Structure 1
Amino acid sequence: MANSDFLLQFQDFENDADLMGSNAGATRITIDDNNSKPQKQRRAAGTALLEDEDGPLESDDTAELLSGQKKSAPFWTFEYYQTFFDVETHQVKDRIVGSVLPWPGKNFVRHYIRNNPDLYGPFWICATLVFAIGISGNISSFLVHHGQPQYKYVPEFRKVTIAATAIYSYAWLVPLALWGFLMWRNSKVSRMVSYSFLEIVCVYGYSLSIYIPAVVLWIIPSEGLRWCSIVLALCLSGSVLMLTFWPAIRDDHPRVVLAVTVTIVTLHVLLAVGCKLLLLPDWPGQVSAS
Protein backbone atom coordinates (compact mmCIF):
# COMPACT_ATOMS: atom_id res chain seq x y z
CA MET A 1 0.00 0.00 0.00
CA ALA A 2 2.84 2.36 0.81
CA ASN A 3 4.37 1.53 -2.53
CA SER A 4 1.12 2.50 -4.27
CA ASP A 5 0.93 5.82 -2.39
CA PHE A 6 4.43 6.62 -3.52
CA LEU A 7 3.47 6.08 -7.15
CA LEU A 8 0.41 8.31 -6.87
CA GLN A 9 2.37 11.24 -5.43
CA PHE A 10 3.64 14.08 -7.70
CA GLN A 11 7.38 13.99 -8.12
CA ASP A 12 9.74 16.83 -8.99
CA PHE A 13 12.16 15.72 -11.69
CA GLU A 14 14.70 18.51 -11.91
CA ASN A 15 17.22 16.80 -14.13
CA ASP A 16 15.04 15.02 -16.64
CA ALA A 17 17.62 15.28 -19.36
CA ASP A 18 20.33 13.76 -17.14
CA LEU A 19 18.09 10.86 -16.19
CA MET A 20 17.35 10.11 -19.84
CA GLY A 21 21.00 10.37 -20.70
CA SER A 22 21.98 7.91 -18.00
CA ASN A 23 19.41 5.39 -19.22
CA ALA A 24 19.79 5.48 -22.98
CA GLY A 25 17.92 2.25 -23.47
CA ALA A 26 14.74 3.50 -21.81
CA THR A 27 11.68 4.09 -23.92
CA ARG A 28 10.20 7.62 -23.91
CA ILE A 29 6.54 8.13 -24.69
CA THR A 30 5.20 11.60 -25.56
CA ILE A 31 1.45 12.07 -25.22
CA ASP A 32 0.07 14.83 -27.46
CA ASP A 33 -2.98 16.86 -26.70
CA ASN A 34 -6.04 14.74 -27.23
CA ASN A 35 -7.90 17.54 -29.06
CA SER A 36 -5.15 19.01 -31.26
CA LYS A 37 -4.07 15.88 -33.10
CA PRO A 38 -7.48 14.76 -34.29
CA GLN A 39 -8.22 18.35 -35.34
CA LYS A 40 -5.06 18.47 -37.42
CA GLN A 41 -5.94 15.14 -38.91
CA ARG A 42 -9.43 16.35 -39.76
CA ARG A 43 -8.04 19.49 -41.41
CA ALA A 44 -5.55 17.45 -43.39
CA ALA A 45 -8.27 15.02 -44.41
CA GLY A 46 -10.61 17.85 -45.41
CA THR A 47 -7.93 19.55 -47.48
CA ALA A 48 -7.06 16.32 -49.20
CA LEU A 49 -10.74 15.71 -49.92
CA LEU A 50 -11.15 19.15 -51.48
CA GLU A 51 -8.11 18.64 -53.63
CA ASP A 52 -9.38 15.27 -54.76
CA GLU A 53 -12.85 16.58 -55.64
CA ASP A 54 -12.17 20.04 -57.08
CA GLY A 55 -8.57 19.70 -58.14
CA PRO A 56 -5.74 21.81 -56.70
CA LEU A 57 -6.74 24.73 -54.56
CA GLU A 58 -6.42 28.17 -56.05
CA SER A 59 -2.94 28.69 -54.72
CA ASP A 60 -1.94 30.80 -57.71
CA ASP A 61 -4.77 33.30 -57.11
CA THR A 62 -3.96 33.42 -53.42
CA ALA A 63 -0.31 34.09 -54.15
CA GLU A 64 -1.25 36.86 -56.61
CA LEU A 65 -3.54 38.51 -54.11
CA LEU A 66 -0.94 38.35 -51.35
CA SER A 67 1.75 39.75 -53.61
CA GLY A 68 -0.53 42.46 -55.03
CA GLN A 69 0.12 41.34 -58.61
CA LYS A 70 -3.31 40.14 -59.69
CA LYS A 71 -3.29 39.57 -63.43
CA SER A 72 -5.52 41.94 -65.39
CA ALA A 73 -8.02 40.56 -67.87
CA PRO A 74 -7.47 41.08 -71.63
CA PHE A 75 -8.88 44.33 -72.98
CA TRP A 76 -11.42 42.55 -75.21
CA THR A 77 -13.22 40.98 -72.22
CA PHE A 78 -15.98 42.45 -70.04
CA GLU A 79 -13.86 41.84 -66.93
CA TYR A 80 -11.31 44.38 -68.16
CA TYR A 81 -13.85 47.20 -68.48
CA GLN A 82 -15.70 46.19 -65.33
CA THR A 83 -12.90 47.66 -63.23
CA PHE A 84 -13.56 51.13 -64.68
CA PHE A 85 -17.18 51.03 -63.48
CA ASP A 86 -16.16 50.03 -59.94
CA VAL A 87 -16.46 53.41 -58.27
CA GLU A 88 -18.03 54.61 -55.03
CA THR A 89 -21.07 56.89 -55.00
CA HIS A 90 -19.30 59.58 -52.98
CA GLN A 91 -16.46 59.64 -55.53
CA VAL A 92 -18.88 60.27 -58.39
CA LYS A 93 -20.63 62.98 -56.38
CA ASP A 94 -17.35 64.71 -55.51
CA ARG A 95 -16.24 64.62 -59.14
CA ILE A 96 -19.52 66.08 -60.36
CA VAL A 97 -19.32 68.87 -57.78
CA GLY A 98 -15.68 69.50 -58.70
CA SER A 99 -16.59 69.78 -62.39
CA VAL A 100 -19.49 72.15 -61.71
CA LEU A 101 -17.57 74.39 -59.28
CA PRO A 102 -13.98 74.74 -60.56
CA TRP A 103 -11.48 76.58 -58.39
CA PRO A 104 -8.34 78.37 -59.66
CA GLY A 105 -5.23 76.31 -59.07
CA LYS A 106 -7.23 73.13 -58.42
CA ASN A 107 -6.39 70.49 -60.99
CA PHE A 108 -9.37 68.19 -61.60
CA VAL A 109 -7.24 65.13 -62.38
CA ARG A 110 -4.89 65.56 -59.44
CA HIS A 111 -7.62 66.24 -56.87
CA TYR A 112 -10.40 63.90 -58.01
CA ILE A 113 -9.29 61.33 -60.59
CA ARG A 114 -5.58 60.52 -60.26
CA ASN A 115 -4.88 56.75 -60.30
CA ASN A 116 -8.60 55.93 -60.23
CA PRO A 117 -10.34 57.05 -63.44
CA ASP A 118 -13.82 55.69 -64.03
CA LEU A 119 -16.16 55.37 -66.99
CA TYR A 120 -19.32 55.13 -64.91
CA GLY A 121 -19.70 58.88 -64.44
CA PRO A 122 -18.83 59.94 -68.02
CA PHE A 123 -21.08 57.27 -69.56
CA TRP A 124 -24.18 58.13 -67.53
CA ILE A 125 -23.58 61.86 -67.69
CA CYS A 126 -23.48 61.68 -71.48
CA ALA A 127 -26.56 59.43 -71.56
CA THR A 128 -28.48 61.77 -69.25
CA LEU A 129 -27.47 64.78 -71.32
CA VAL A 130 -28.60 63.08 -74.54
CA PHE A 131 -32.07 62.35 -73.19
CA ALA A 132 -32.30 65.79 -71.57
CA ILE A 133 -31.60 67.44 -74.93
CA GLY A 134 -34.10 65.16 -76.69
CA ILE A 135 -36.85 65.78 -74.14
CA SER A 136 -36.20 69.52 -73.91
CA GLY A 137 -36.12 69.83 -77.69
CA ASN A 138 -39.45 68.03 -78.11
CA ILE A 139 -41.14 70.02 -75.34
CA SER A 140 -39.79 73.30 -76.72
CA SER A 141 -40.98 72.42 -80.21
CA PHE A 142 -44.42 71.63 -78.85
CA LEU A 143 -44.62 74.91 -76.92
CA VAL A 144 -43.43 76.97 -79.90
CA HIS A 145 -45.99 75.57 -82.32
CA HIS A 146 -48.80 74.95 -79.86
CA GLY A 147 -51.97 76.75 -80.88
CA GLN A 148 -51.27 76.75 -84.61
CA PRO A 149 -54.29 75.41 -86.52
CA GLN A 150 -52.35 73.03 -88.75
CA TYR A 151 -49.89 71.86 -86.11
CA LYS A 152 -49.90 68.22 -85.05
CA TYR A 153 -47.34 67.09 -82.52
CA VAL A 154 -45.03 64.30 -83.71
CA PRO A 155 -42.15 63.12 -81.47
CA GLU A 156 -38.79 63.97 -83.04
CA PHE A 157 -36.63 60.99 -82.17
CA ARG A 158 -33.96 62.16 -84.59
CA LYS A 159 -32.98 64.75 -82.00
CA VAL A 160 -31.97 61.97 -79.62
CA THR A 161 -29.92 60.33 -82.37
CA ILE A 162 -28.18 63.56 -83.34
CA ALA A 163 -27.49 64.47 -79.72
CA ALA A 164 -26.11 61.01 -78.93
CA THR A 165 -23.80 61.06 -81.97
CA ALA A 166 -22.50 64.55 -81.21
CA ILE A 167 -22.03 64.12 -77.45
CA TYR A 168 -20.47 60.65 -77.43
CA SER A 169 -18.19 61.56 -80.35
CA TYR A 170 -17.07 64.66 -78.48
CA ALA A 171 -16.60 62.78 -75.20
CA TRP A 172 -14.47 60.02 -76.80
CA LEU A 173 -12.88 61.19 -80.05
CA VAL A 174 -11.67 64.56 -78.77
CA PRO A 175 -9.95 62.98 -75.71
CA LEU A 176 -8.40 60.38 -78.00
CA ALA A 177 -6.96 63.04 -80.31
CA LEU A 178 -5.79 65.16 -77.38
CA TRP A 179 -4.17 62.18 -75.67
CA GLY A 180 -2.30 61.24 -78.86
CA PHE A 181 -1.11 64.81 -79.34
CA LEU A 182 0.07 65.14 -75.73
CA MET A 183 1.92 61.84 -75.97
CA TRP A 184 3.66 63.05 -79.13
CA ARG A 185 4.62 66.37 -77.57
CA ASN A 186 5.71 64.66 -74.37
CA SER A 187 8.31 62.73 -76.36
CA LYS A 188 9.74 66.01 -77.67
CA VAL A 189 9.45 68.29 -74.63
CA SER A 190 10.73 67.20 -71.25
CA ARG A 191 9.09 67.95 -67.90
CA MET A 192 5.58 67.94 -69.35
CA VAL A 193 2.67 66.69 -67.26
CA SER A 194 1.19 63.56 -68.83
CA TYR A 195 -2.34 62.18 -68.54
CA SER A 196 -3.64 58.77 -69.48
CA PHE A 197 -6.40 58.35 -72.05
CA LEU A 198 -8.94 57.32 -69.41
CA GLU A 199 -8.10 60.35 -67.28
CA ILE A 200 -8.76 62.66 -70.23
CA VAL A 201 -12.03 60.86 -71.00
CA CYS A 202 -12.99 61.24 -67.35
CA VAL A 203 -12.31 64.99 -67.44
CA TYR A 204 -14.35 65.53 -70.60
CA GLY A 205 -17.20 63.34 -69.39
CA TYR A 206 -17.57 65.03 -66.02
CA SER A 207 -17.18 68.50 -67.56
CA LEU A 208 -20.47 67.92 -69.43
CA SER A 209 -22.47 67.50 -66.22
CA ILE A 210 -23.12 71.25 -65.95
CA TYR A 211 -25.01 71.13 -69.26
CA ILE A 212 -27.76 68.91 -67.82
CA PRO A 213 -29.42 71.63 -65.67
CA ALA A 214 -28.70 74.16 -68.42
CA VAL A 215 -30.57 72.04 -70.97
CA VAL A 216 -33.53 71.67 -68.62
CA LEU A 217 -33.80 75.48 -68.54
CA TRP A 218 -34.16 75.49 -72.32
CA ILE A 219 -37.80 74.48 -71.85
CA ILE A 220 -38.58 77.96 -70.52
CA PRO A 221 -39.87 80.14 -73.40
CA SER A 222 -37.13 82.75 -73.20
CA GLU A 223 -34.28 83.00 -75.67
CA GLY A 224 -32.34 85.25 -73.33
CA LEU A 225 -32.49 82.70 -70.52
CA ARG A 226 -31.45 79.93 -72.91
CA TRP A 227 -28.36 81.77 -74.09
CA CYS A 228 -27.44 82.81 -70.56
CA SER A 229 -27.57 79.17 -69.42
CA ILE A 230 -25.38 78.15 -72.38
CA VAL A 231 -22.79 80.84 -71.68
CA LEU A 232 -22.67 79.99 -67.97
CA ALA A 233 -22.28 76.26 -68.69
CA LEU A 234 -19.58 77.03 -71.27
CA CYS A 235 -17.59 79.14 -68.83
CA LEU A 236 -17.75 76.61 -65.97
CA SER A 237 -17.01 73.49 -68.02
CA GLY A 238 -14.41 75.27 -70.12
CA SER A 239 -12.66 76.40 -66.94
CA VAL A 240 -12.42 72.78 -65.80
CA LEU A 241 -10.79 71.80 -69.08
CA MET A 242 -8.30 74.67 -69.12
CA LEU A 243 -7.33 74.30 -65.45
CA THR A 244 -6.73 70.60 -66.06
CA PHE A 245 -4.79 70.71 -69.32
CA TRP A 246 -2.85 73.92 -68.79
CA PRO A 247 -0.09 72.16 -66.75
CA ALA A 248 0.30 69.67 -69.61
CA ILE A 249 0.91 72.30 -72.31
CA ARG A 250 2.36 75.36 -70.56
CA ASP A 251 5.99 74.21 -70.98
CA ASP A 252 5.57 73.69 -74.72
CA HIS A 253 6.26 76.16 -77.51
CA PRO A 254 4.02 79.26 -77.28
CA ARG A 255 2.48 78.58 -80.68
CA VAL A 256 1.63 75.03 -79.66
CA VAL A 257 0.12 76.26 -76.40
CA LEU A 258 -2.03 78.77 -78.28
CA ALA A 259 -3.14 76.22 -80.88
CA VAL A 260 -4.13 73.62 -78.28
CA THR A 261 -5.97 76.19 -76.16
CA VAL A 262 -7.93 77.55 -79.12
CA THR A 263 -8.79 74.04 -80.29
CA ILE A 264 -10.08 72.93 -76.88
CA VAL A 265 -12.21 76.05 -76.43
CA THR A 266 -13.51 76.05 -80.02
CA LEU A 267 -14.65 72.43 -79.94
CA HIS A 268 -16.31 73.03 -76.59
CA VAL A 269 -18.20 76.06 -77.92
CA LEU A 270 -19.21 74.25 -81.11
CA LEU A 271 -20.78 71.40 -79.12
CA ALA A 272 -22.94 73.67 -76.96
CA VAL A 273 -23.93 76.18 -79.64
CA GLY A 274 -24.47 73.45 -82.23
CA CYS A 275 -26.85 71.53 -79.96
CA LYS A 276 -28.75 74.75 -79.25
CA LEU A 277 -29.14 75.79 -82.89
CA LEU A 278 -29.80 72.35 -84.37
CA LEU A 279 -31.93 70.69 -81.72
CA LEU A 280 -33.93 73.56 -80.21
CA PRO A 281 -36.32 75.71 -82.21
CA ASP A 282 -36.00 79.46 -81.95
CA TRP A 283 -38.57 81.16 -79.79
CA PRO A 284 -39.59 84.04 -82.03
CA GLY A 285 -41.44 86.86 -80.24
CA GLN A 286 -44.27 84.46 -79.51
CA VAL A 287 -44.33 83.10 -83.11
CA SER A 288 -45.39 86.05 -85.22
CA ALA A 289 -47.28 83.84 -87.71
CA SER A 290 -49.74 82.85 -85.03
Structure 2
Amino acid sequence: MASAKDPFQFQEFEEAGSLLEANRDATTISIEDDNINPEKQRKAAGFTPDGDNEDPLADDDKTELLSGQKKSAPFWTFEYYQKFFDIESHHVKERIIGSLLPWPGKNFINVYLRRNPDLYGPFWICTTLVFAIAISGNISNFLAHLGKPNYKYTPEFRKVTIAATAIFSYAWLVPLALWGFLLWRNNKIMNLVSYSFMEIVCVYGYSLSIYIPAVVLWIFPYEWLRWCSIMVALCLSGSVLVLTFWPAVRDDHPKVIIAIMSAIALLNILLAVGCKAYFFSKPEPTLLVPTEVIRATNKP
Protein backbone atom coordinates (compact mmCIF):
# COMPACT_ATOMS: atom_id res chain seq x y z
CA MET A 1 0.00 0.00 0.00
CA ALA A 2 1.35 3.39 -0.97
CA SER A 3 2.31 5.77 1.75
CA ALA A 4 0.16 8.77 2.43
CA LYS A 5 3.14 11.07 1.89
CA ASP A 6 4.61 9.68 -1.33
CA PRO A 7 7.46 12.03 -2.49
CA PHE A 8 6.86 11.13 -6.14
CA GLN A 9 3.20 11.99 -6.08
CA PHE A 10 2.20 15.16 -7.92
CA GLN A 11 1.18 17.91 -5.59
CA GLU A 12 -0.27 21.30 -6.28
CA PHE A 13 1.54 24.09 -4.55
CA GLU A 14 -1.26 26.12 -3.13
CA GLU A 15 1.15 28.47 -1.46
CA ALA A 16 1.96 30.02 -4.88
CA GLY A 17 -1.20 32.06 -4.69
CA SER A 18 -0.26 33.40 -1.30
CA LEU A 19 3.18 34.36 -2.57
CA LEU A 20 1.70 36.33 -5.42
CA GLU A 21 -0.66 38.06 -3.06
CA ALA A 22 2.32 39.11 -0.92
CA ASN A 23 4.31 40.46 -3.90
CA ARG A 24 2.07 41.66 -6.68
CA ASP A 25 4.96 43.34 -8.58
CA ALA A 26 6.79 40.04 -9.19
CA THR A 27 7.34 38.96 -12.78
CA THR A 28 5.68 35.70 -13.77
CA ILE A 29 6.41 33.57 -16.85
CA SER A 30 4.06 31.03 -18.31
CA ILE A 31 5.76 28.00 -19.87
CA GLU A 32 2.80 27.56 -22.18
CA ASP A 33 3.41 30.89 -23.89
CA ASP A 34 5.43 30.33 -27.09
CA ASN A 35 6.00 34.03 -27.73
CA ILE A 36 8.17 34.74 -24.72
CA ASN A 37 10.60 37.55 -25.08
CA PRO A 38 14.10 36.16 -24.38
CA GLU A 39 15.10 39.46 -22.87
CA LYS A 40 12.31 39.20 -20.28
CA GLN A 41 13.37 35.63 -19.49
CA ARG A 42 16.92 36.74 -18.79
CA LYS A 43 15.72 39.60 -16.60
CA ALA A 44 13.35 37.31 -14.73
CA ALA A 45 16.14 34.82 -14.13
CA GLY A 46 18.36 37.56 -12.76
CA PHE A 47 20.80 37.82 -15.73
CA THR A 48 21.65 41.24 -17.00
CA PRO A 49 23.24 41.71 -20.43
CA ASP A 50 26.82 42.80 -20.41
CA GLY A 51 27.05 45.41 -23.12
CA ASP A 52 30.83 45.79 -22.83
CA ASN A 53 31.54 42.17 -23.84
CA GLU A 54 29.35 42.12 -26.94
CA ASP A 55 31.22 41.62 -30.22
CA PRO A 56 29.41 43.19 -33.18
CA LEU A 57 31.60 41.25 -35.64
CA ALA A 58 30.61 37.98 -34.03
CA ASP A 59 26.96 38.98 -34.27
CA ASP A 60 27.41 39.73 -37.97
CA ASP A 61 29.07 36.35 -38.56
CA LYS A 62 26.25 34.58 -36.72
CA THR A 63 23.68 36.46 -38.76
CA GLU A 64 25.42 35.51 -42.02
CA LEU A 65 25.65 31.86 -41.00
CA LEU A 66 22.01 31.69 -39.92
CA SER A 67 20.78 33.43 -43.06
CA GLY A 68 23.00 31.27 -45.33
CA GLN A 69 24.62 34.32 -46.90
CA LYS A 70 28.24 35.40 -46.87
CA LYS A 71 29.67 38.70 -47.92
CA SER A 72 31.75 38.41 -51.09
CA ALA A 73 34.87 40.51 -51.52
CA PRO A 74 35.24 42.75 -54.60
CA PHE A 75 37.00 41.15 -57.56
CA TRP A 76 39.89 43.64 -57.42
CA THR A 77 40.98 42.47 -53.96
CA PHE A 78 43.23 39.54 -53.02
CA GLU A 79 40.49 38.11 -50.79
CA TYR A 80 38.34 37.49 -53.86
CA TYR A 81 40.98 35.31 -55.56
CA GLN A 82 42.14 33.61 -52.37
CA LYS A 83 39.26 31.15 -52.43
CA PHE A 84 40.28 29.95 -55.90
CA PHE A 85 43.64 28.79 -54.52
CA ASP A 86 42.14 26.97 -51.53
CA ILE A 87 42.03 23.44 -52.94
CA GLU A 88 43.31 20.03 -51.93
CA SER A 89 46.05 18.25 -53.88
CA HIS A 90 43.90 15.22 -54.63
CA HIS A 91 41.27 17.47 -56.23
CA VAL A 92 43.91 18.93 -58.56
CA LYS A 93 45.11 15.43 -59.41
CA GLU A 94 41.56 14.29 -60.10
CA ARG A 95 40.96 17.23 -62.44
CA ILE A 96 44.21 16.69 -64.32
CA ILE A 97 43.35 13.02 -64.87
CA GLY A 98 39.87 14.04 -65.96
CA SER A 99 41.32 16.41 -68.57
CA LEU A 100 43.66 13.70 -69.87
CA LEU A 101 40.87 11.11 -70.16
CA PRO A 102 37.77 12.78 -71.59
CA TRP A 103 34.74 10.57 -71.95
CA PRO A 104 31.59 11.17 -74.03
CA GLY A 105 28.74 12.38 -71.87
CA LYS A 106 31.00 13.67 -69.10
CA ASN A 107 30.95 17.42 -68.70
CA PHE A 108 34.21 18.54 -67.09
CA ILE A 109 32.52 21.35 -65.16
CA ASN A 110 29.68 19.23 -63.80
CA VAL A 111 31.79 16.15 -63.02
CA TYR A 112 35.03 17.61 -61.67
CA LEU A 113 34.51 21.27 -60.76
CA ARG A 114 31.11 20.95 -59.04
CA ARG A 115 30.71 24.74 -59.00
CA ASN A 116 34.05 25.04 -57.21
CA PRO A 117 36.60 26.23 -59.81
CA ASP A 118 40.21 26.84 -58.86
CA LEU A 119 43.09 28.83 -60.30
CA TYR A 120 45.86 26.89 -58.56
CA GLY A 121 45.91 24.04 -61.07
CA PRO A 122 45.53 26.17 -64.24
CA PHE A 123 48.22 28.62 -63.08
CA TRP A 124 50.85 25.95 -62.47
CA ILE A 125 49.89 24.02 -65.58
CA CYS A 126 50.37 27.12 -67.72
CA THR A 127 53.63 28.02 -65.96
CA THR A 128 55.00 24.49 -66.36
CA LEU A 129 54.00 24.46 -70.02
CA VAL A 130 55.76 27.79 -70.62
CA PHE A 131 59.09 26.54 -69.25
CA ALA A 132 58.63 23.13 -70.91
CA ILE A 133 58.24 24.78 -74.32
CA ALA A 134 61.19 27.14 -73.83
CA ILE A 135 63.56 24.52 -72.42
CA SER A 136 62.53 21.81 -74.89
CA GLY A 137 62.95 24.22 -77.79
CA ASN A 138 66.50 25.12 -76.73
CA ILE A 139 67.46 21.50 -76.19
CA SER A 140 65.94 20.50 -79.53
CA ASN A 141 67.97 23.12 -81.39
CA PHE A 142 71.10 22.06 -79.57
CA LEU A 143 70.62 18.37 -80.44
CA ALA A 144 69.75 19.17 -84.07
CA HIS A 145 73.09 20.94 -84.61
CA LEU A 146 75.21 18.86 -82.27
CA GLY A 147 78.56 17.99 -83.81
CA LYS A 148 78.48 20.63 -86.53
CA PRO A 149 81.71 22.66 -86.43
CA ASN A 150 80.14 25.80 -87.87
CA TYR A 151 77.36 26.01 -85.26
CA LYS A 152 77.68 27.99 -82.06
CA TYR A 153 74.98 27.34 -79.48
CA THR A 154 73.49 30.34 -77.73
CA PRO A 155 70.55 29.94 -75.28
CA GLU A 156 67.46 31.82 -76.38
CA PHE A 157 65.94 33.23 -73.21
CA ARG A 158 63.45 35.30 -75.16
CA LYS A 159 61.52 32.11 -75.85
CA VAL A 160 60.35 32.09 -72.22
CA THR A 161 58.72 35.51 -72.64
CA ILE A 162 57.15 34.62 -75.98
CA ALA A 163 55.86 31.29 -74.67
CA ALA A 164 54.41 32.94 -71.56
CA THR A 165 52.62 35.55 -73.67
CA ALA A 166 51.14 32.93 -75.98
CA ILE A 167 50.07 30.45 -73.30
CA PHE A 168 48.60 32.90 -70.78
CA SER A 169 46.85 34.89 -73.51
CA TYR A 170 45.20 31.70 -74.72
CA ALA A 171 44.29 30.63 -71.17
CA TRP A 172 42.74 34.01 -70.21
CA LEU A 173 41.71 36.02 -73.27
CA VAL A 174 39.99 33.18 -75.09
CA PRO A 175 37.89 32.23 -72.01
CA LEU A 176 37.04 35.91 -71.56
CA ALA A 177 35.76 36.19 -75.13
CA LEU A 178 33.90 32.89 -74.86
CA TRP A 179 32.30 33.88 -71.55
CA GLY A 180 31.14 37.19 -72.99
CA PHE A 181 29.67 35.48 -76.04
CA LEU A 182 27.84 32.84 -73.99
CA LEU A 183 26.52 35.53 -71.66
CA TRP A 184 25.22 37.50 -74.62
CA ARG A 185 23.52 34.43 -76.10
CA ASN A 186 22.06 33.48 -72.74
CA ASN A 187 20.34 36.85 -72.52
CA LYS A 188 18.67 36.15 -75.84
CA ILE A 189 17.86 32.48 -75.30
CA MET A 190 16.92 31.90 -71.68
CA ASN A 191 17.16 28.08 -71.61
CA LEU A 192 20.89 27.92 -72.42
CA VAL A 193 23.36 26.50 -69.92
CA SER A 194 25.52 29.26 -68.44
CA TYR A 195 29.05 29.02 -67.04
CA SER A 196 30.94 31.53 -64.95
CA PHE A 197 34.17 33.12 -66.15
CA MET A 198 36.28 31.28 -63.57
CA GLU A 199 34.78 27.95 -64.60
CA ILE A 200 35.72 28.58 -68.25
CA VAL A 201 39.26 29.64 -67.24
CA CYS A 202 39.57 26.49 -65.14
CA VAL A 203 38.52 24.27 -68.05
CA TYR A 204 40.96 25.90 -70.45
CA GLY A 205 43.79 25.71 -67.93
CA TYR A 206 43.35 22.01 -67.23
CA SER A 207 42.90 21.24 -70.94
CA LEU A 208 46.51 22.36 -71.50
CA SER A 209 47.94 19.68 -69.20
CA ILE A 210 48.20 17.14 -72.05
CA TYR A 211 50.60 19.45 -73.90
CA ILE A 212 53.28 19.17 -71.19
CA PRO A 213 54.27 15.54 -71.99
CA ALA A 214 53.74 16.22 -75.69
CA VAL A 215 56.19 19.14 -75.63
CA VAL A 216 58.80 16.99 -73.88
CA LEU A 217 58.60 14.52 -76.79
CA TRP A 218 59.30 17.37 -79.21
CA ILE A 219 62.89 17.39 -77.96
CA PHE A 220 63.70 14.44 -80.21
CA PRO A 221 64.39 15.61 -83.78
CA TYR A 222 61.82 13.32 -85.43
CA GLU A 223 59.05 15.09 -87.27
CA TRP A 224 56.78 12.05 -87.31
CA LEU A 225 57.00 11.81 -83.50
CA ARG A 226 56.23 15.49 -83.10
CA TRP A 227 53.20 15.42 -85.36
CA CYS A 228 51.86 12.24 -83.72
CA SER A 229 52.13 13.84 -80.28
CA ILE A 230 50.45 16.98 -81.61
CA MET A 231 47.53 14.99 -82.98
CA VAL A 232 47.05 13.07 -79.73
CA ALA A 233 47.24 16.27 -77.65
CA LEU A 234 44.82 18.07 -79.97
CA CYS A 235 42.28 15.24 -79.81
CA LEU A 236 42.34 15.00 -76.00
CA SER A 237 42.44 18.73 -75.32
CA GLY A 238 39.83 19.51 -77.96
CA SER A 239 37.54 16.75 -76.67
CA VAL A 240 37.55 18.26 -73.18
CA LEU A 241 36.57 21.67 -74.55
CA VAL A 242 33.94 20.41 -76.98
CA LEU A 243 32.28 18.08 -74.46
CA THR A 244 32.21 20.87 -71.87
CA PHE A 245 30.80 23.67 -74.00
CA TRP A 246 28.46 21.61 -76.15
CA PRO A 247 25.62 21.72 -73.57
CA ALA A 248 25.93 25.52 -73.47
CA VAL A 249 25.30 25.97 -77.20
CA ARG A 250 23.36 22.88 -78.37
CA ASP A 251 19.99 24.67 -78.07
CA ASP A 252 21.19 27.70 -79.99
CA HIS A 253 20.92 28.42 -83.71
CA PRO A 254 22.77 25.85 -85.89
CA LYS A 255 24.98 28.51 -87.43
CA VAL A 256 25.96 29.76 -83.98
CA ILE A 257 26.75 26.21 -82.87
CA ILE A 258 29.00 25.59 -85.86
CA ALA A 259 30.74 28.94 -85.44
CA ILE A 260 31.51 28.62 -81.73
CA MET A 261 32.59 24.96 -81.91
CA SER A 262 34.79 25.70 -84.93
CA ALA A 263 36.37 28.67 -83.15
CA ILE A 264 37.16 26.59 -80.05
CA ALA A 265 38.78 23.83 -82.14
CA LEU A 266 40.60 26.25 -84.46
CA LEU A 267 42.20 28.28 -81.66
CA ASN A 268 43.35 25.07 -80.01
CA ILE A 269 44.95 23.91 -83.27
CA LEU A 270 46.61 27.28 -83.85
CA LEU A 271 48.18 27.20 -80.39
CA ALA A 272 49.67 23.73 -80.84
CA VAL A 273 50.85 24.15 -84.43
CA GLY A 274 52.13 27.68 -83.78
CA CYS A 275 54.23 26.57 -80.82
CA LYS A 276 55.66 23.69 -82.82
CA ALA A 277 56.46 25.87 -85.82
CA TYR A 278 58.06 28.70 -83.84
CA PHE A 279 59.88 27.01 -80.98
CA PHE A 280 60.95 23.83 -82.75
CA SER A 281 61.89 25.07 -86.19
CA LYS A 282 65.49 24.65 -87.25
CA PRO A 283 67.20 28.05 -87.21
CA GLU A 284 69.99 28.89 -89.55
CA PRO A 285 73.31 27.98 -87.93
CA THR A 286 75.73 30.74 -87.08
CA LEU A 287 78.72 30.37 -89.41
CA LEU A 288 82.14 30.84 -87.91
CA VAL A 289 84.63 32.33 -90.30
CA PRO A 290 87.83 30.25 -90.38
CA THR A 291 91.02 31.95 -89.21
CA GLU A 292 92.71 31.22 -92.56
CA VAL A 293 90.13 33.35 -94.36
CA ILE A 294 90.64 36.20 -91.90
CA ARG A 295 94.39 36.08 -92.36
CA ALA A 296 94.00 36.03 -96.15
CA THR A 297 91.81 39.10 -96.12
CA ASN A 298 94.19 40.98 -93.85
CA LYS A 299 97.18 40.47 -96.17
CA PRO A 300 98.16 43.51 -98.23
- TM tier, smaller: 0.7 to 0.9
Alpha-carbon distance in 2 for matches of 1:234, 1:204: 13
- Aligned CA distance change for structure 1 residues 44 and 193 (closer, same or farther; 3 Å): same
Whether contact under 8 Å (1:140, 1:281) holds in the other structure is no
Deviations 1:188-240 (A, max 9, x none): 22421111111111111110000001111111232111111111000010011
Paired residue secondary structure (2:13): helix
Q: Which residue of 2 is the match for residue 212 of structure 1? A: 212
CA contact 1:117–1:199 (8 Å) conserved in 2: yes
Q: Deviations over 1:245-277 (max 9, x none)?
A: 111112222111111121111110000000000
Closer, same or farther: CA 22–229 of 1 in aligned 2, 3 Å: closer
Shift of 1:75: 1.3
Partners of 1:118 and 1:13 lie apart in 2 by 64
Q: Which amino acid aligns with 1:228?
A: C
2:13 match: 17
1:179–1:196 CA contact under 8 A, matched in 2: yes
SS at match of 1:219: coil
**Equivalent residue, structure 1, for 2:73:** 73
Are the aligned partners of 1:114 and 1:199 in contact in 2 as well (CA < 8 Å)? no
Q: Distance in 2 between matches of 1:13 and 1:144?
A: 100
Percentage of pairs with the same residue? 68
SS in 1 for 2:164: helix
TM-score by length of 2: 0.77
Displacement after TM superposition at 1:78 (Å): 0.4
* 2:281 paired residue number: 281
Residues 17 and 277 (structure 1), Cα distance of their counterparts in 2 relative to 1, 3 Å cut: same
TM-score by length of 1: 0.80
Matching of residue 86 in structure 1 with residue 86 in structure 2? yes
* 1:120 partnered with 2:116: no
* In structure 2, C-alpha distance between the alignment counterparts of 1:183 and 1:216, rounded to whole Å: 37
Cα distance between partner residues in 1 of 2:78 and 2:209: 26
List aligned pairs for 1:9-158, cutoff 5 A: 17-18=13-14, 58-158=58-158
Aligned residues between the structures: 259
Question: After superposition, where does 1:238-277 map in structure 2 within 5 Å?
Answer: 238-277=238-277
Counterpart CA distance in 2 for 1:106 and 1:58 is 43
1:125 Cα offset (Å)? 0.7
Is the 1:144–1:281 contact (alpha carbons within 8 Å) kept by the matching residues of 2? no
RMSD (Å) for aligned C-alpha atoms: 3.0
* Structure-2 separation of matches of 1:119 and 1:12: 70
Distance in 1 separating the partners of 2:248 and 2:207: 18
Give the match for residue 231 of structure 1: 231
Q: Structure 2 CA distance, aligned partners of 1:16 and 1:164?
A: 86
Q: Is 2:195 aligned against 1:195?
A: yes
C-alpha contact (below 8 Å) 1:98/1:108 kept by paired residues: yes
Specify every segment of 5 or more residues in structure 2 that has no aligned partner in the other structure, as ranges.
Answer: 1-5, 24-45, 288-300
Alpha-carbon distance, 1:57 to partner: 5.8
- Structure 1 unaligned spans of 5+: 1-10, 27-40
